[in-house]
Amino acid sequence: MSRQPSSMRPLNPLNALACASLLATLAAPALAQSNVTVSGTLDVGVYRGMDQTTQVGNLSRSNLAFSGKEDLGGGLFTTFRLSTRMEVDTGATESGGKPFWHDEATVGLKGDFGHVRLGRANDAVAANDWAFDPWDNFDRLGSPAWQYWHYNYATDRASNNGSPEYNRLNNGIFYDSPTVGGASVSLSGSPEKASASSATGQGKPVQGALKYGIGGFYGMVAYGRNAAGDTVKFLGLKYGFGALTVMGAYDISTYQGTLVTSTAHAATLGATYQLDKVLLQAGYGRLNQVTGDEQYFALGARYPLSKRTYVYTDLAHKRPESGSSHTGYGVGINHSF
């Protein structure tokens, strides 16, 4: 009887099991590797601001981010994000004593329960309010929201080396719930008390936002309190039908001074209209504070050159109750990667 070549012999079941176990062991580290993404936005324009000077610089935000997740199995993921902000015209990081990872530095867990992160990030109010402004609450010229929302409220009065931080929370815990029946919740806060330089009240900051969307409707109510006792209350509504989307917001912010408490009321209205490839933007804002009323009018347009690049133009007019009115305008280019 002739012998079978070794390559043709049936494999012993015990040997097959051992090989399968070895392969699974070797493959496990590869499956557990994080999925890392490098992304960002570069924005720069030429504009004449409300200070009546012409300059080159960011009209919108520019950032570089490293983010990713690791599949832990059973629908559970580890997440992380590191994002820095910069000025494209000079290559410098954003000024004002801000840390290098100014935009976000978090690590967290995500699953059916929602998403929990620890570190530094936008608080629950600032992370969600952008949806109610045609310029996403960041355009140094076009956005009435960027001019007036949360006027008397900083997330921390002195977390940027003694300078205020208006959106981001240090030493924070952040939670975003899953959406159930169109409703979801975002929460943020810190168990740490602020330093004496950043708050007279020595409290603990907390913020929350309740969101609801169905069909073309989207709305949000939000509240925030910083360590000093300053507060912000926010209501935003938006409705889209066809190419037209209309939106509005009302914001009340209060600064708790040692002797005087100051409250600012801000109301904004906005709309976007998709005209073929061009996105048209319009916005109006009104601010009421102790020094008097102020109004802001803005128009804008975006034209896409590709899926990641668009050029845009802004025209804005600021009209205070007393003093001189000013008009600003500019053009820019924005590229995301």
pLDDT the model gives residue 194: 66
Looking at this protein, which amino acid is placed at residue 166?
A: Y
Could you give the maximum distance between any two Cα atoms of the chain, in Å? Answer: 110
Closest CA to 134 of 247, 254, 297, 303: 247
First-to-final CA distance of the chain = 68
pLDDT the model gives residue 249: 98
Confidence of residue 201 (pLDDT cuts 50, 70, 90): low
β-pair partners for 262: 255
Confidence of residue 95 (pLDDT cuts 50, 70, 90): confident
pLDDT the model gives residue 39: 97
More confident residue, 263 or 18: 263
Looking at this protein, which amino acid is placed at residue 88?
A: V
Confidence of residue 259 (pLDDT cuts 50, 70, 90): confident
Confidence of residue 236 (pLDDT cuts 50, 70, 90): very high
Q: Is residue 1's pLDDT more than 50?
A: no
- Distance, CA of 275 to CA of 216 (rounded, Å): 18
pLDDT the model gives residue 337: 96
Confidence of residue 19 (pLDDT cuts 50, 70, 90): very low
CATH for 36-336 is 2.40.160.10
Sequence spans of domains, the chain: 36-336
